[in-house]
Structures are given as C-alpha cells and as structure tokens.
Structure 1
Amino acid sequence: MKKHTSLSSLSALGRMLALAAIALLALPARGDDGATNEQLQASEDQRRQLEQQVSELEAEVTRLEAQLARQQQDAETAQAELADVTQQLEEARELVASQDWEGVYQQLTQVRAELAALRTQLAAMNGSLELNAAFVFGTAPFVLGQTYATAGGDTVTFSQVRYWLSNVTLLKQDGTTRALTDSYHLMEVINAQELDGTSNPVTLPANRRERVQARAVPADTYSGIRFSIGVDPTYNDDLSRQAGELHVLQNMASVSWMWFTSYIFTKTHGTYVTAQGTQGDFAWDTGTNANYRTVELPFPITVTVNSQKRLTVNLQANVAPLFASLNPSTTPSIGATQSTESATLSDGFANMFALVSVENADR
C-alpha cells in the first residue's frame, strides 16, 4: 500500500514537470534571428514564471505526500485495530468452547465497542466523487462528424465541442457547501489539432473527456451539486495563475480573440446546411467574465461520502439546447464582441445539463 502511494505521488510529479517542459519548449525560439529586445525580455519573463510554477507544483507534491503519509498511518492504525479485534473474536470462540459464558459476553461487548469506534473513524475520512457528463444531442449519442437536425431546421455537423467545468461544489441540506479544491476540468470531444501560438509544432491528440474524478472529498452528507461553466475572474483575468487543468497550452486561451487575455470558456465549431441547401462553417466561442455560468442540481435523496461510501453523479450534457435560440446560418460566428449572442450561447451551455442518476455505493 505504501509503495503504491509513493509511486502515485511520483507519477503526479512527473506529469506536472512534463507539462512545464512542454510549456518551455513551446516558447518562441531565441537567438539573433531578428527578435527584438522586448520579445527576448518577454520570453525570459515567461520562462521565469513557468519555472516558478514548477517550483510551486513541486511544493504541492511534497505537501500531498505528507498528507498521504498521514492517511497511510491512519489506515495502518485501523488495520492494527482490526487485527486486534480478530484476535479477540478468536478468543471469544475459545471461551464459547469452554462454556465460559460470562467471559464470552464481556469479550463480545468489548469487540462491539471497538468496531463502533473504527466505523466512526472511517466515516470521518475523506471519500471520492466521480462526475460523469455524457455528451448527447437530443436523444442521440454525440459523435463528431455525425449530422444532427437543429430546432431551427438546419442540419449541423461538429468538429469540436469543448468547455471548462469548474468550481465543483457539493451542497448540504443546511445550506452550507463544500467546494472541491483545484476544480478546473476541460471537457471535450475533439479531433487532433495543432496547438496555436507556438514556434515548435505541438499537436493536441484527439480526445473525448466526459468524466471528472475527485479523490479528496470531505466526509459528510450531501443533497446536491453545483458547478460552473467557464473560468472565474480570479483566473480568467490573469493567465499566469494556474489551478487544476488551467494552462494556456490547450487551445482554450487567447490574447487575440478579445481586447484582453482570457480563457475561452466554450468552443462549439462545425458546419451547417440550411433547408434551402446553403452551407458553411460556424465557430461559436465564449470567454468574457459575463459569460460565466453556474449550474445547481439537487439530488433525489441525500448521499453520504466517506472512505467507505463512494459517490457517482451521472449527468447528460445535451448539445441540442445550444441551438434553441441561435442559428448557425444567420450567426455563423460568435466571439467576445458579440455580447448578446455570447450571453445566449452561455445560457445554452448552462441549460445543457440534466441529472440522470446518483449512485452512493459501498466500497
């Protein structure tokens, strides 16, 4: 168990450092090839920022390793206590065989008390959450390259759909909440694509991402879930800040699509064909702070999360509502300067989600 924990931590560190290495490689090449002093200074400043982020992530790895070590120690203590209980039960069987009824009753009373204490200890330890948001279009599975009919009478075919699912929070019946840390997740269905804005060719692989896993969910009883579409202003207004999966090497951040640097909250790209046969491309992007949306879904029953009870929340992310009030043939492009259309599209993303089921199974 301890060996597994250590390897997991080292693997996490490796992924973090690999990301930083890619970022450094993606910086514009330096040298006497016409680059201005300002460009060289900007490149050096970016390099220093990334090196600082690597150091911060290394410190976070060290902190998490210490936390895992404490949890491992707690688990080892619980294992030792269970072994002691097992021994006491063996002694109880011997007392039964010797017909020492009073000794048996005393032994079983002690065992029950120790097991109750262990259950309390385990119930106070963190649990986990799996959040699944399966892409669909209406009642049909969502597939890139597949043709779908919109509410406006067009047919559409998608080349990519992407969005930031952020700030996942579990809700309690008393109105208090438990926010999950570093909860920024890029949900997507994409084909392979070249990474923008780098001097060295980098390709993002084809991907279908519909699942979020959180492994340090505070033990408690919950009645619902809340999450947001987009990136909150703290991180959206400063691309040098990073948390969760936020970073600029995702083709979901740009300095040119609007008047200040910002994450792109959602991307919906593809082609359309009207009933009259007119066809073309459409590209719908959102990303200003005004486009940030929050979704709240109550659970049908309260659920318990702890080290012995896992929580799985299954959603549908229905792309069809995006076309309820927007038509790609009349609005083929949506960006930061189209505030009305961006707001409508953002509302459509907030209306994508429906709760399918909640599973609260024993481990």
Structure 2
Amino acid sequence: MNKLIIIVAGLIAVSFTSCEKTEIKEVEKIVYADQAGSLSLTFDAKYGDSDFELNKKYPYQLVNSSGTYDMEFEFSRLRYWVSNVKLIDKDNKEHAIADSYYLVEETNEIAVQHLVNGEKYPATKREEVKLKDIPLGEYKAIKFSIGVDQKYNDNIALTAGELGSLNGMGVSDGWMWFTSYKFLTLAGTIHWAAGTPTSKALSWETGSNALFDGAEKTITLTTPLKVDAQNSGKVVLNVDVKELISATDLPWVNNSISQGKKDLMIALRDTFLSKSLTLKESTSSSVKTN
C-alpha cells in the first residue's frame, strides 16, 4: 500500500514538473519575440518597364552629339556585391548587420579557370537577401554599399558573410582580379539594330579600394517598418539595367570597362547607385508561428 502511494505521488510530481517547464518555455518564447526579427531585401532586376532576362535582346536608342542610333543589348551576366548593411531607426540610430556581404547575381554558366577538372559555376539567379537578428524597432531607412571594403578586398583569403575565394564565384575570369574583388559586373553583347550585322562584346566591371569610397547608398522608406520576431520587414528595390547603360554616351566605343579605365568605372558605379537603384516598395507583415 505504501509503495502504491509513493508511485502515485511520484507521477503527480512529474506531471506538475512537466507543466511548469511548458509554462516557462512559453514565457521565454514571448520575451524573445519582442527582441529580434528579420527583414528581406530584394533587388528586382528590370530593363526599363520589362523584366530583366539573360540571352534576350533589348532595344536601346543611343542619343549623343553625333546623332541618334538604334542598338540592342543582350546580357549574359549581372553580378554585384552588397555589403556593410545598416538599418536606420526612427531616432536616426544606425544598426549594422554583422558580416553582411552578399553576392547578388543573374548569370549564365561560367567556366572556372585554374581548376584541374574544368569545373563550371552553374547558371544562377539570386535577388533576395535575408537579414536576421535585427533588434526590435521601427526603421525608416536602409543603407548599404556596392563592393567590398579594404580589409577584405586586400586579402581574399579572409572570410565573412558570403566572401571567400571560391564561395559563390569563379576565380579570376568568373569574378576576381586575382588579388581583389570585382564590385559590379555587367556582360553580354551589343548589336546594331539594323543596317549591319556587326556586334561587339560588352564587359563592364568596377572594383578597387578607391572606388569603395563613395559606393554607399541610402534608401529612405515610404513608411517606417516595425521589425521584431513577430513582425518581419520586406524591402524591394528596382535595379534598372537600362539606366546603367547611360553611364557612357559611347557604349560601342567603351564596350570594355575595367581597372585601366578609372573614370569610366566611377561613372558606372555612380550611375548604378544614383539611377539604377530605386525603392519599389517596403512592407511589414506578421510572422506565422507554429
């Protein structure tokens, strides 16, 4: 009889202990929900009013001092680094996102040089970046840079976020100048629309530590976003490639832009930041919990 009483008492104690643990977990969950959240940042590539697609010819009317010319642009690659992301709250305080280095890209398959087995980087499309562990708050703007800061640009062996010599990129021909990162790449073919079948390869690239200064963009949101673990934020930016072409009024002549043409790299960087990148929408939504 005494043994039966002891067993029943033990079961009751276990039952109460289990209930107490469940209640503690629920309380902890609610407290955490008010402390941190997430935000998605989407770079929606387009060409004027059309969706941006690779291997498709887009019309472009060039107007310069020599006259008006009808051309076509066909793209094979658009890649750029988004880095040093900061959220600005309603009190103008900046909140830096740790290790925020993201490769945004739309590219055909790329042959990777210098690797033994002839590996290829697969055709890839990536427009969305997920920002996590954002402090509870209301945010009115987002700030980021296009490119890689000097610490990591001077030493590609260092890793942070998505940076790394073979992390999400091909070596040399695919994405790097051996000892530093390319910040922005646009590649494809320029065609004359009529009158001649002539075409020419397009290869525009930016990079170097000097170009990272001035590569920052601030996007002011239409309304502040509330972010915590129960409310996530979403920011969608337009990336207009047609606007990027206007970086030079001589694209046929300046079909190749790289390290040896600093002024053109600066023009390409500035056009991307000031004309191509614009706010499309920003919204907050409730996070579904199980």
Greater RCO structure (CA 8 Å; 6+ sep): 2
Checking the alignment, whether the CA contact within 8 Å between 2:239 and 2:277 is kept in structure 1 is yes
Q: Classify the secondary structure of the residue corresponding to 1:321.
A: helix
C-alpha separation in 1, matches of 2:41 and 2:183 = 19
Q: Classify the secondary structure of the residue corresponding to 1:150.
A: strand
Give the alignment of 1:293-304 within 5 angstroms: 293-304=215-226
Match of 2:65 in 1: none
Match of 1:286 in 2: 206
Once the 2 structures are TM-superposed, how far is the Cα of residue 77 of structure 1 from its aligned partner? 3.1
Q: Classify the secondary structure of the residue corresponding to 1:328.
A: coil
> How many residue pairs were aligned?
252
C-alpha separation in 2, matches of 1:75 and 1:279 = 69
2:107 to 182, 190, 194: 190
Q: Classify the secondary structure of the residue corresponding to 1:310.
A: strand
Checking the alignment, whether the CA contact within 8 Å between 2:80 and 2:103 is kept in structure 1 is yes
Match of 2:239 in 1: 317
C-alpha separation in 1, matches of 2:22 and 2:82 = 33
Q: Classify the secondary structure of the residue corresponding to 1:344.
A: helix
Q: Classify the secondary structure of the residue corresponding to 1:361.
A: strand
Letter matched to residue 360 of structure 1: S
Q: Classify the secondary structure of the residue corresponding to 1:300.
A: strand
C-alpha separation in 2, matches of 1:192 and 1:139 = 26
Note if 1:251 corresponds to 2:181. Answer: no
Checking the alignment, whether the CA contact within 8 Å between 1:253 and 1:262 is kept in structure 2 is no
Out of 198-207 and 178-187, give the one that drifted further: 198-207
Provide, for residues 107-162 of structure 1, a one-character-per-residue CA deviation record: whole Å limited to 9, x for no partner: xxxxxxxxxxx5xx345421001111111011100000111123524211001111
Note if 1:360 corresponds to 2:278. Answer: no
Match of 2:268 in 1: 345
Checking the alignment, whether the CA contact within 8 Å between 1:252 and 1:264 is kept in structure 2 is no
Change (3 A) 1:151 1:347: farther
Once the 2 structures are TM-superposed, how far is the Cα of residue 179 of structure 1 from its aligned partner? 1.0
Which structure's residues are more often strand, by fraction?
Answer: 2
Match of 2:253 in 1: 330
2:60 to 142, 150, 162: 150
Note if 1:131 corresponds to 2:131. Answer: no
- Runs of 4+ with >4 A deviation: none
Letter matched to residue 217 of structure 1: I
Provide, for residues 235-264 of structure 1, a one-character-per-residue CA deviation record: whole Å limited to 9, x for no partner: 11111111111112213657x986x72101
Could you tell me the TM-score, scaled by structure 1's length? 0.64
Match of 2:183 in 1: 265
Provide, for residues 33-76 of structure 1, a one-character-per-residue CA deviation record: whole Å limited to 9, x for no partner: xxxxxxxxxxxxxxxxxxxxxxxxxxxxxxxxxxxxxxxxx997
Letter matched to residue 206 of structure 1: A
C-alpha separation in 2, matches of 1:288 and 1:76 = 55
Change (3 A) 1:181 1:149: same
Gaps of 5+ in 2: 1-20, 63-69
The percent of aligned pairs where both chains have the same amino acid is 31
Once the 2 structures are TM-superposed, how far is the Cα of residue 303 of structure 1 from its aligned partner? 1.6
